[in-house]
Amino acid sequence: MDATLFLNQLFNGFSVASLYLLASLGLALSFGLMRVINMAHGEMLMLGGYLAWMTLLVVPGAAGIILAIPVAFVGAAAMGGLIQSTLIRRLSARPLDTLLATWGVSLILQQGARDLFGAVGVEVRAPDWLSGSIALAGVTIPSARIFIIAVAVLVLGSLALLLLRSRIGLLVRAVNQDRMMAAATGIDVKRVDFTIFCLGAGIAGLAGVMLALLGPVTPNVGQSYIIPAFLVVVMGGLGSIVGTTAAAAILGLFSALAQIFVDVSVAQMLLLVFVVLFIQVRPQGVIAVRTRALDV
Amino acid sequence: MSDALLDIAGLSCAYGQSDVLWDIDLLLPRGKVMALIGRNGVGKTTLLHAIMGTRPAKTGRILFDGTDISALPPHKRAKAGVGFVPQGRHIFPQLTVMENLETGLSASGDRSNTKHGIPQHIFDLFPKLYDIRNRAGGFLSGGEQQQLAIGRALAGRPTLLLLDEPTEGIQPNVVQQIEAALVHVRDTLGMTILLVEQYLDFVWRFADNYSAMQNGRILQQGRIADAPASDVAHFIQI
């Protein structure tokens, strides 16, 4: 095997993993907390992509991309907040209905984007410092992919800080571990749900900006990332952030390295087979939580 | 305002189609300890959950400190001054002892010093908790968890403490410690306590009044001082 090709794909794997991570963190957060699956999560990516495109229409160039990140985050978070407060909160006792209702929202948002922006994708022109590439030990690395990895690392680090070091993080962990008791200690669990849902949608919006750097933004761009994101969440252990990160890394690397030997669609199939086998061996996911409190 | 801190009238509760509490009336005088006694499954725990708001009531009203709290979500009841030490303790397993205590601060509304702003009297009461403050809640022994659960409830500065079987599954020498701590809470903090307990010796040393439950109703109420434990033992025996 060609060492350069291997290194290239290894690096690609990390950037794919970064995208998977950004796309799935929101799903993992809200599933961990509310046990609901938001089928419209992919459309938060799509929304982020279009918001990035619109931001760059107003402010072209490097400043535009930097500005697009907060715009997409806030825009997607607001949309997530709207979906959560009007729909998911009211259906929280009925998980299957939530699944169907959010799928409906997903279709509405896709059609809405088609009507607004057209069925053909829009192209975000990355600024020069992102469209170049860096040569390292014989491997050519596109700058955009380095940028994506850096953003993912930054998001993960900030999220970890927020969850482990802040007051709101403490409340989130408490609700996550024992919802009844959290409410009884005086925590407004519905407000925590809302905050986390907005945060998760915002991170997905951010992922959308990264997608826009790699290819055209289309009304159904979210659909191609939502399946791997679900795989990551399932494999990560349903709601664990460490597990989600590990699973995103494993699946990103797996799909990129598989593409050395087979074409893209076979690699996708192998990815599914890999996850199915993994879940057979380890149904609890990468990270399983075990303490004696659970057997009370 | 009456001298009752908690005044429940006509409270009913159901799990799906089956009723588990029927028309409960209960008065808790301020500063007194009321013990709820009865066999397993008669609705004692459900009654505590209905008061806390973690189990919805079907009918009835709950006056707490003169205000009707029956429509409030649990966190608002906690903020109003209801502290809860549930059965099985419900310690947050992956939070440290300190973090478990900090969650309790949510109820006190004291946001001035939320990071480690744990009232000192909790550590005076349970010095062990300070020694193990960085350990995860899930790794504590039953007795340690019970102390933590009581400490967490006290961190919210409640005026009413709901205690569900504080001696259940705890080794005898630790039971004595917990009993001593609860006596301290009753006497120095002047706390009103609603206690569910099967261990009658403890109830008769600790409580002022009792309510005996059977099949989701309160059948008999009285002052502990007027009744020997043997009078109510048949509510517990199988």
3-state DSSP call for residue B4? strand
Residues of B in contact with A189 (CB under 8 A): 75
Check residue B114 and give its pLDDT: 47
Q: Which residues of A touch B106 (CB under 8 A)?
A: 171, 185-187
Fold that domain B4-229 belongs to in CATH:
Rossmann fold (3.40.50)
Pair A117, A219: CB distance under 8 Å: yes
Give me the pLDDT at residue B111, please. Answer: 54
**Token pair recorded at residue B84:** 């809860």
Beta strand segments in B111-200, E: 160-164, 192-196
d(CA A37, CA B185): 44
> Cβ–Cβ of A291/B104 closer than 8 Å?
no
With beta carbons under 8 A apart, name residues in chain A contacting B92: 173-174, 177-178, 181-182
Q: Which whole number is the average pLDDT over A68-83?
A: 96
Q: Give whole-number Cα distances, B9 to A30, A170, A190, B43, B115, in Å.
A: 39, 37, 28, 16, 39
Closest residue to B136, CB basis, from A183, A190, A291: A291
Residue spans per domain, chain A: 14-226
Inform me whether the C-beta atom of residue B192 falls under 8 Å from chain A C-beta atoms: no
Q: Which residues contact A235 (CB under 8 A, 6 or more apart)?
A: A243, A247, A250, A251, A275, A278, A279, A285, A286
**Closest residue on chain B to A164 (Cα):** B95
pLDDT tens track for B182-215: 999 999 988 999 999 988 889 999 999 999 999 9
pLDDT digits (tens, 9 = 90+) for A208-226: 999 998 889 999 999 988 8
Residue among B53, B91, B103 minimizing CB distance to A170: B103
Contacts of B95 in chain A (CB under 8 A): 170, 173-174, 177
Question: Which of A187, A190, A292 lies at the smallest CB-CB distance from B106?
Answer: A187
Q: Is B65's Cβ below 8 Å from some Cβ in A?
A: no
Q: From the CA of A165, how many Å to the nearest CA of chain B? A: 10
Task: Give the closest residue to A236 by CA, choosing from A247, A227, A226.
Answer: A247
Does position B136 have pLDDT exceeding 70, yes or no?
A: yes
Residue B138 burial (CB count, 10 A): 20
Burial class (CB in 10 A: 0-12, 13-18, 19+), A41: buried
Interface with A, mutate which of B45, B69, B75 (most A CBs under 10 A): B75
pTM across the whole model? 0.90
Q: Quickly list H helices, chain A.
A: 3-34, 41-58, 62-83, 95-117, 128-131, 143-165, 167-177, 179-184, 189-214, 223-236, 241-261, 264-281
Q: Is B180 helix (H, G, I), strand (E, B) or coil?
A: helix
Mean pLDDT of chain B: 90
- The pLDDT of residue A289 is 54
Task: Check B114 against A167: CB less than 8 A apart.
Answer: yes
Where is average pLDDT lowest: A122-131, A157-166, B152-161?
A122-131
- With a cut of 50, say whether residue A294 has pLDDT above it: no
For position A175, what pLDDT does the model report? Answer: 93
Please check whether residue B156 is in contact with residue B108, taking contact to mean a CB–CB distance below 8 angstroms.
Answer: yes
A188/chain B closest Cα distance in angstroms: 6
> In this complex, which of B86, B88, B103 lies closest to A174 when CB atoms are compared?
B103
Compute the nearest-CA separation of B172 from chain A (Å): 19
Residue A8, classed as helix, strand or coil, is helix
Cα separation, B65 vs B74, whole angstroms: 16
- CA dist B35 and B196 (Å) reads 6
Return the structure tokens found at B113.
């010093």
